[in-house]
Amino acid sequence: MFAFAALLVVASATLPRALAHGGVLSYENAGNWYQGWAPYNSPVGQTTIQRPWSTYNPITDPTDPTLSCNDDGTSGALQLTATVQAGSAITAYWNQVWPHAYGPMLVYLAQCPGTTCTGVNSDTLSWFKIDQSGLINGTIGDGFWGDGLMIAQNSSWTTTIPSTVPSGNYLIRFETIALHSLPAQFYPECAQINIVGGGSLQPTAAELTTFPGAYSATDPGINCDLYTNEALTETTYVIPGPPLYGSSGSTSVAPAPPTSAPATSAPHAPTTISPPPVTTAPTSVAQQYGQCGGVGWSGPTACASGFTCTEQNSYYSQCL
């Protein structure tokens, strides 16, 4: 069993004893690697973009005060921030091999007031969800989940910072929720990023939430028993949390043009071609560094002019 072999490797690397659990250990963006916080080392001298976190153990209460970033919400004494281009991909890496294949993957952003997230308690922020993957196929009881995809992708998850997100300082919160036993297990860790080159689409009120606050123990996606008879036929899973960013309408997005041609209007041929308007609404092509393909990907598969969709692995293609 590869999982067993991996656990032996982990044990010999003198990692903590909570071998069945863990968290995000490192990040990658645009070719830059960022080592994460080491929760079982002394906090003294740790310099990382990741927010401090305290335990490999799961949080099992969705109202737990540590639910925002798996700690008390404070930044590190030597906290760093990564500069990240809007539209670029950022990957979080969990300890290998992540053991829990049943449950959803979720990624959130929260903008910090002021000019830095350092010193801002994560418990005070409003979060919006930029990525999620629930039940990919099969049934609740025996299906393939976002968590399984994360494991299949080298125990990592790649998400694209939406190109529409306003530039600024954010926390990014990667979360895997494990449903193999009840209560559900929450594994959230956060990192500080400064998003540059962003757009102007603010999340709507309906898309914003808090941690704790976003989840309840009675949410169908959290109080989800995989071991009932119904679970073996149920193919619908409701991912917990707010609607995805950009999905619930916003005043700063222009309404879609009517799809039926205005047959009755007199066609006046324009004598000049106007340049395309600058738009901040989501487009059907991926921008530079944006994801454009891969197993499970349902977003754009074409790249903006001048960029080519390039396969990085079977789960991730990127416009370069």
The piece of 43-51, 136-144, 238-246, 299-307 that touches ligand NAG (CB under 6 A) is 136-144
Return d(Cα 111, Cα 116) in angstroms, integer.
10
CA nearest to 16, candidates 36, 35, 41, 48:
41
In sequence order, which residues have a C-beta less than 8 Å from that of residue 311 and are 6 or more positions away? 293, 294, 317
Query: Per CB under 6 A, which region of 13-21, 48-56, 137-145, 218-226 contacts ligand NAG?
Result: 137-145
List of residues contacting Cu ion (CB under 5 A): 20-21
Residue 141 binds ligand NAG (CB under 6 A): no
Query: What's the CA gap between 253 and 280, in Å, rounded?
Result: 7
Query: Among ligand NAG, Cu ion, none, what binds residue 93 when CB lies within 5 to 8 Å by partner kind?
Result: ligand NAG
Alpha carbons 282 and 196: distance in angstroms, whole number: 17
Q: Which of 54, 154, 210, 223 binds ligand NAG (CB under 6 A)?
A: 154
Residue 54's binding partner, choosing from ligand NAG, Cu ion, none, with beta-carbon cut-off 5 to 8 A by kind? none
Q: Write down the least CB distance from residue 26 to ligand NAG, Å.
A: 6
Residue 297 touching ligand NAG (CB under 6 A): no
Smallest distance from ligand NAG to CB 4, Å: 18
Single out the segment in contact with ligand NAG by CB under 6 A; choices: 51-59, 114-122, 130-138, 245-253. 130-138
Member of 285, 296, 297, 302 binding ligand NAG (CB under 6 A): 296
CA nearest 59: which of 74, 49, 69? 69
Element of type H or E holding 128: strand 127-133
- Sign of the Cα torsion 46, 209, 117, 283 reads positive
74 interacts with ligand NAG by CB under 6 A: no
Residue 137 near ligand NAG by CB under 6 A: yes
By beta-carbon proximity to ligand NAG, the closer residue of 48 and 169 is: 48
Residue 154 contact among Cu ion, ligand NAG, none, beta carbon within 5 to 8 Å by kind: ligand NAG
Out of 63, 295, 308, 310, the residue judged to bind ligand NAG by CB under 6 A: 295
Conformation bin of residue 158: beta by default, left when phi > 0, alpha when psi is -120 to 50: beta
User: What's 269's DSSP letter?
Assistant: P
Torsion of CA 48, 50, 55, 56, to 10 degrees: -100
Name the minimum Å distance from CB 146 to Cu ion. 16
> Which CB sits closer to ligand NAG, 32 or 137?
137
Instruction: Quote the CA–CA distance of 224 and 4 in Å, as a whole number.
Output: 27
Which one of Cu ion, ligand NAG, none is in contact with 144 (Cβ closer than 5 to 8 A by kind)?
ligand NAG
Query: Which is nearer to ligand NAG, 24 or 130 (by Cβ)?
Result: 24
Using CB under 6 A as the binding rule, whether residue 213 contacts ligand NAG is answered as: no
Min separation Cβ 46 and Cu ion, Å: 24
Minimum CB separation from ligand NAG for residue 32, in Å?
A: 13
Q: Which stretch binds ligand NAG (CB under 6 A): 69-77, 135-143, 186-194, 299-307?
A: 135-143
CA distance 27 to 23: 12
Task: Give contact residues for ligand NAG (rule: CB under 6 A).
Answer: 93, 96, 136-138, 144, 154, 156, 295-296
